[in-house]
Amino acid sequence: MSTTRTVIFDAPGGPEVMKIVERPVGDPGPGEVRIRHHACGLNYIDIYQRAGVYPLALPHALGMEGAGVVEAVGAEVTHLAPGDRVAYAAAPPGAYCDLRVMNATQVCRLPESIDFRTGAAMMLQGLTVEYLFNRTVPLKAGDTVLFHAAAGGVGLIACQWARALGIRLIGTAGSDEKCALAREYGASEVINYEKEDFVTRVREMTDGRGVDVVMDSIGKATFEGSLDCLRPVGMMISYGNASGKVPPFDLGILGAKGCLQLTRPTIFMHIAQREKCQSMASHLFDMVESGKIKIHIGQTFALENVVQAHRAMEARSTTGSSVLTL
């Protein structure tokens, strides 16, 4: 039986609670595959899980996406074969490792033109943008979207996707350098929220009308302001909690602010079925292979430096996507 290095944590807490252990890895069962990772992605959801915001049964491994080569497939797996290059975003966590047996449903063949680091960096973030722009609310050329954290991994993909669709994207970020990066990747306008009030600036940029859609992964710190940026009957998409969970609020506020719409989607509902997941991944791969989307990998860490990686993400000193290499 093979063994693998795996990052686990025994109790919620800061980056220091993570440790690397050796674990046995057996053969895949029905509906499963065994994957030898070349790289795995780092995402803010990993921090939520490690810190206990999204509780897991402990001890637990971390990591929601990876890329590598299929070593073996179990019975009933028909879309993959040993030797296939693959990438995935999937639950439960466990991608921070060399070798893994997992359900094959969300594992997708990775085109030869996309390297493993890019594959590991793009799946969770890219599929998130795919459902935000194509499956959450009807968007069309000429629509205006406010996108928070526009220089992050999801944000830079969103900037490019918006440009490809002819959507006006107003991006926010926390420094002039990050704002410049978001603009380089396709944001129509940018707001440095450390220097300017984003609500005031959005109203100025839209001549007082407000935006059609807000895409907000920040949560508590931006939620009320995001609502104030919407036009009447606009859509608020709250899809993350980087600053903490949005506290309970009176639904009547939505009516008072202009009959606003609100949704809280998750990627894992969208990719739960194999056919839909594969379709979404194919769309994402097509966008990358066409050159419309370029995956910006701002940081690369070795697996043994995972604590340093999490500290960098929490300090908001990263840009674009981050990956662990194996």
Closest CA to 238 of 250, 255, 252, 225: 225
CATH of the domain at 245: 3.40.50.720
Inside any domain, residue 133: no
Inside any domain, residue 128: no
| Domain coverage including residue 316 | 2-123+268-325
Mark whether 148 and 204 lie in a shared domain.
yes
Residues 65/97, Cβ–Cβ less than 8 Å: no
Mark whether 29 and 112 lie in a shared domain.
yes
Per-residue pLDDT of 256-311, as tens digits, reads 999 999 999 999 999 999 999 999 999 999 999 999 999 999 999 999 999 999 99
Boundary residue ending a domain (247, 264, 281)? 264
Mark whether 23 and 45 lie in a shared domain.
yes
Per-residue pLDDT of 91-120, as tens digits, reads 999 999 999 999 999 999 999 999 999 999
Confidence (pTM) = 0.93
Inside any domain, residue 136: no
Mark whether 203 and 221 lie in a shared domain.
yes
10 Å CB burial of residue 283 (0-12, 13-18, 19+) is middle
Boundary residue ending a domain (264, 281, 305)? 264
Inside any domain, residue 87: yes
Per-residue pLDDT of 125-179, as tens digits, reads 999 999 999 999 989 999 999 999 999 999 999 999 999 999 999 999 999 999 9
Boundary residue ending a domain (264, 296, 311)? 264
DSSP structure class, residue 95: -
Mark whether 224 and 277 lie in a shared domain.
no
Residues 119/111, Cβ–Cβ less than 8 Å: no
pLDDT at 319: 87
Report how far residue 237's alpha carbon sits from residue 214's, in angstroms, rounded to the nearest whole number. Answer: 6
The two tokens of residue 220 are: 């508590």
pLDDT at 265: 96
Inside any domain, residue 16: yes
The two tokens of residue 319 are: 């840009």
pLDDT at 131: 98
Per-residue pLDDT of 207-247, as tens digits, reads 999 999 999 999 999 999 999 999 999 999 999 988 888 99
Mark whether 172 and 194 lie in a shared domain.
yes
Mark whether 244 and 314 lie in a shared domain.
no
Domain tally, the chain: 2
Inside any domain, residue 252: yes
Mark whether 220 and 186 lie in a shared domain.
yes
pLDDT at 316: 85
The two tokens of residue 150 are: 């526009």
Mark whether 242 and 165 lie in a shared domain.
yes
Mark whether 258 and 288 lie in a shared domain.
no
Closest CA to 204 of 147, 261, 146, 122: 146
Inside any domain, residue 131: no
Rounded (10°) angle between helices 153-165 and 116-131: 60
Inside any domain, residue 116: yes
Per-residue pLDDT of 57-103, as tens digits, reads 999 999 999 999 999 999 999 999 999 999 999 999 999 999 999 99
Say if residue 202's pLDDT is above 80. Answer: yes
Mark whether 160 and 66 lie in a shared domain.
no
Residue count (the chain): 326
Q: For 300-325, what is the mean pLDDT?
A: 94
Residues 69/17, Cβ–Cβ less than 8 Å: no
CATH of the domain at 46: 3.90.180.10
Residues 61/97, Cβ–Cβ less than 8 Å: yes
Q: For 191-215, what is the mean pLDDT?
A: 97
In whole angstroms, what separates CA 153 from the centre of its chain? 7
Mark whether 304 and 239 lie in a shared domain.
no
Report how far residue 308's alpha carbon sits from residue 209's, in angstroms, rounded to the nearest whole number. Answer: 43
